[in-house]
């Protein structure tokens, strides 16, 4: 029959289903490492990239409108280590991943902005950068 052939995505298993089947199929520890690598590549790396771009954008907009505080401190950078907060960027998200929480939460070090140094529209743009960026991504 021409219509009975399964599609390419119909045989995929979710990670939780694969965890239950792993001992039966003899996959063991190697598959667990693969699942950890899959989780890291689909959750951790994109979140780190998004947080880094977000915080660097705050500093860039503040610098554009007259405040060079973040620029002088080296926080307008695409280096994720400049924006890592040990508790909010590492411990809380790792704890939630280990608990298999249905959500992921975390935060980075806030970029310092001296609002007195900003020219008039700079305060508004620096504060509203995130909602505007999210609107353009939709």
Structural domain contains residue 18: no
Structural domain contains residue 5: no
Predicted confidence (pLDDT) at residue 30 exceeds the cutoff of 70: no
**pLDDT computed for residue 41 by the predictor:** 79
Confidence of residue 125 (pLDDT cuts 50, 70, 90): low
- Residue 28 token pair: 């063991």
Q: Count of domains in the chain?
A: 1
Structural domain contains residue 33: no
Active site residue 123: no
Range of weakest confidence among 32-46, 85-99, 101-115? 32-46
Structural domain contains residue 4: no
Structural domain contains residue 69: yes
User: Given 48, 51, 52, 55, which residue is catalytic?
Assistant: 55
Confidence of residue 69 (pLDDT cuts 50, 70, 90): very high
Domain that holds residue 133: 49-137
Structural domain contains residue 75: yes
Structural domain contains residue 27: no
* Under 8 Å between Cβ of 48 and 80: yes
pTM of structure: 0.60
Question: How far is it, in rounded angstroms, from Cα 32 to Cα 9?
Answer: 22
Tell me how far CA of residue 28 lies from CA of 40, 98, 134, in angstroms: 19, 19, 41
């Amino acid at each position: 029959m021409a219509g009975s052939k399964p599609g390419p995505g119909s045989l995929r298993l979710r990670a939780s289903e694969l965890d239950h089947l792993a001992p039966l199929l003899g996959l063991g520890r190697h598959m667990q490492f693969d699942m950890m690598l899959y989780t890291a590549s689909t959750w951790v790396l994109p979140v780190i990239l998004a947080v880094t771009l977000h915080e660097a954008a705050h500093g860039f907009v503040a610098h554009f409108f007259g405040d060079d505080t973040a620029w002088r401190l080296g926080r307008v950078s695409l280096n994720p280590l400049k924006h890592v907060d040990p508790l909010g960027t590492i411990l809380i998200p790792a704890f939630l991943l280990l608990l298999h929480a249905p959500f992921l939460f975390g935060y980075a070090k806030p970029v310092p902005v001296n609002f007195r140094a900003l020219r008039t529209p700079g305060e508004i743009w620096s504060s509203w950068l995130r909602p505007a960026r999210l609107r353009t991504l939709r």
